[in-house]
């Protein structure tokens, strides 16, 4: 099976199955528990249904976004004259890999845009219950470290520089072969711009909460959405500049192009590690000292919420 054909088939099956699983209650509960484990929160019993519904909506919208990105990528490659199911000559293997990663990058960005849509849609939900809110509105930096956002733009500059240097040093008949690398950088640029615009909207339109627990979980879901918005473009950049200089059909690439490409690849690895270690930033910034409640503490909280007069008397 051709590599691109495998990517499209694999992506369609995985996201279609993930979309179907969000309809199963036990899977929705598992998604909520998994997110709670990742960010260091427990799922409150009285908020479990609401949290599970929001996590399921997020997963469902993200899968739809990824499937739409797959369809757009397929159409784009077809318009570019790429035959998905045909055999590819050995000399084009490098280009095939770049095309494959361009598709994966587009799918990752589509996934994150779907998650952002779900976050904005959840923020528009309204009911008649009393609401609480924090005194000051948080910024994007409360959820994603500013250095990560700056680093993402720096990787974009490095990848674009590598592709541009290679293009300037090649013969006119070879410049066109860099189109997939340019597509990777272009997809990443669109993703980074969207991450800045959508990220601010997601933070600005926080969902009104009925109590502190719901507010914390709203922050957790927004944090995951903002992270997804930034991870997608970074994945597109992982090979954008690197494959411009190590493709098998190019020879004698200048060190001026090799340097930004390798630095960009190393930077991607570094940022990936920081992303994994920084998942609970919103807790440190907005809820210092927050932790999971013990089962006894959770039982007392639910009892107090059900009978506030009795809790006060005791």
The stretch 275-297 carries a mean pLDDT of 74
Residue 295 resides in a domain: no
Distance CA 104, CA 35 (A): 23
The stretch 276-300 carries a mean pLDDT of 72
Residue 310 resides in a domain: no
Where does the pLDDT of residue 160 fall: very low under 50, low under 70, confident under 90, or very high at 90 and above? confident
pLDDT tens digits, 28-45 = 999 998 988 888 788 888
Residue 307 resides in a domain: no
Least confident of 13-17, 123-127, 175-179: 123-127
DSSP 227-271: HHHHHHHHHHHHHHTHHHHH-TT--S--HHHHHHHHHHHHHHHHH
Domain of 258? 3-290
CB atoms < 10 A from the CB of 310, how many? Answer: 10
The pLDDT score that the predictor gives to residue 270 is: 83
Residue 297 resides in a domain: no
The pLDDT score that the predictor gives to residue 266 is: 79
Residue 304 resides in a domain: no
Give whole-number Cα distances, 314 to 293, 295, 307, in Å.
21, 20, 11
Residue 143 resides in a domain: yes
Residue 301 resides in a domain: no
Q: Could you give the number of structural domains in the chain?
A: 1
As a whole-number percent, the residues of the chain with pLDDT over 70 amount to: 68
What's the gap between Cα 117 and its chain centre? 12
The pLDDT score that the predictor gives to residue 89 is: 37
Residue 142 resides in a domain: yes
> Phi and psi for 158 in degrees, rounded to 5?
-65, -45
């Amino acid at each position: 099976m051709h590599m691109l054909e495998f990517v499209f088939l694999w992506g369609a099956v995985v996201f279609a199955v993930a979309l179907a699983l969000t309809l199963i209650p036990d899977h929705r509960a598992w998604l909520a528990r998994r997110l709670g484990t990742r960010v260091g929160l427990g799922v409150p019993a009285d908020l479990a249904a609401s949290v599970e519904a929001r996590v399921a909506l997020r997963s469902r919208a993200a899968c739809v976004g990824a499937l739409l990105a797959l369809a757009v990528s397929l159409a784009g490659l077809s318009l570019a004259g790429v035959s998905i199911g045909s055999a590819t000559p050995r000399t084009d293997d490098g280009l095939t890999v770049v095309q494959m990663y361009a598709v994966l990058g587009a799918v990752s960005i589509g996934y994150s845009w779907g998650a952002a849509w779900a976050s904005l849609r959840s923020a528009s939900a309204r009911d008649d219950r009393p609401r609480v809110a924090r005194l000051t509105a948080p910024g994007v930096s409360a959820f994603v470290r500013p250095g990560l956002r700056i680093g993402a733009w720096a990787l974009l500059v490095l990848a674009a520089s590598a592709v541009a240097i290679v293009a300037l040093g090649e013969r006119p008949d070879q410049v066109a072969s860099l189109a997939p690398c340019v597509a990777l950088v272009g997809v990443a640029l669109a993703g980074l711009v969207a991450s800045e615009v959508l990220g601010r909207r997601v933070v600005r339109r926080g969902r009104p909460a009925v109590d502190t627990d719901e507010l914390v979980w709203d922050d957790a879901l927004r944090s995951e959405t903002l992270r997804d918005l930034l991870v997608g473009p970074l994945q597109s950049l992982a090979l954008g500049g690197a494959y411009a200089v190590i493709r098998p059909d190019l020879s004698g690439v200048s060190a001026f192009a090799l340097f930004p490409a390798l630095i960009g690849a190393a930077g991607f690895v570094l940022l990936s590690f920081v992303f994994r270690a920084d998942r609970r930033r919103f807790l440190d910034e907005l809820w210092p000292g927050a932790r999971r409640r013990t089962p006894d503490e959770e039982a007392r909280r639910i009892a107090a919420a059900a009978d506030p007069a009795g809790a006060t008397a005791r």
